[in-house]
Amino acid sequence: MHLAQLNIGRLIAPTDDPRVAAFMTNLDRVNGLGKRMPGFIWMMEGSGEPGTGNTEAALDGDPQFVANLTVWEDRASLENFVQNTLHKKFMDRKAEWFETLDQMHFVMWWVPEGHQPSLAEAREKLAYRQTHGDSALAFGWGWPE
């Protein structure tokens, strides 16, 4: 099994607004780093336009809601990328670019090797975690491996 993760955020401004420019101009850099990390398997891609990441995947018709959906060999690989690379510097600055959401916005779950989850599947996992809390079906960092 491999580990899938979904992280959703709502930008404080449209993607072309100067208030989120530092985030937008570094998307390709941070995503590219992730793709080169040991244990990286797959990432939901956007249009491929430079500096857009996957920001075209507006959620519920709101272009400021953005999603990151990836698959990793294991939890340790994902955690290494999140906590021990340039990604951490950007994660530490998330309050500059993202609104504080009033509900859970992150979920992990196990998928069969070779499976590339859809955004709809990922959102179902997030909804499950929001409703039922952490379980073997959908969990956060606090759930035991």
CATH code for the domain in which residue 126 is found:
3.30.70.100
The CA distance from 136 to 86, in Å, is: 30
The answer to the question of residue 7 being in a domain is yes
Within a domain: 49:
yes
Distance CA 26, CA 34 (A): 12
41 phi and psi, to 5 degrees? -115, -50
Q: For residue 54, is it left (φ>0), alpha (ψ between -120 and 50) or beta?
A: alpha
User: Does 142 reside within a domain?
Assistant: no
At residue 76, the pLDDT reads 95
Number of domains comprising the chain? 1
Q: Is residue 111 one of the residues assigned to a domain?
A: yes
Domain-located, residue 95 = yes
Question: Can you read off the two tokens belonging to residue 24?
Answer: 């937008």
Q: What local confidence, expressed as pLDDT, does residue 56 receive?
A: 60
Domain that holds residue 76: 2-132
Domain membership of residue 128 (yes or no) is: yes
- Identify each DSSP E strand in 106-145 by its residue range: 106-111
For each of the chain's 145 residues, which pLDDT tens digit applies? 999 999 999 999 998 999 999 998 998 899 899 999 999 999 987 645 555 555 566 677 788 888 899 999 999 999 999 999 989 998 899 999 999 998 889 999 999 999 999 999 999 999 999 999 999 999 999 888 7
The answer to whether position 43 is within a domain reads yes
Backbone torsions φ then ψ of 65, nearest 5 degrees: -85, 120
What's 68's DSSP letter?
E
pLDDT of residue 47: 47
In the numeric block, which tokens belong to residue 40? 């990286």
CA distance 95 to 84: 19
143 within some domain: no
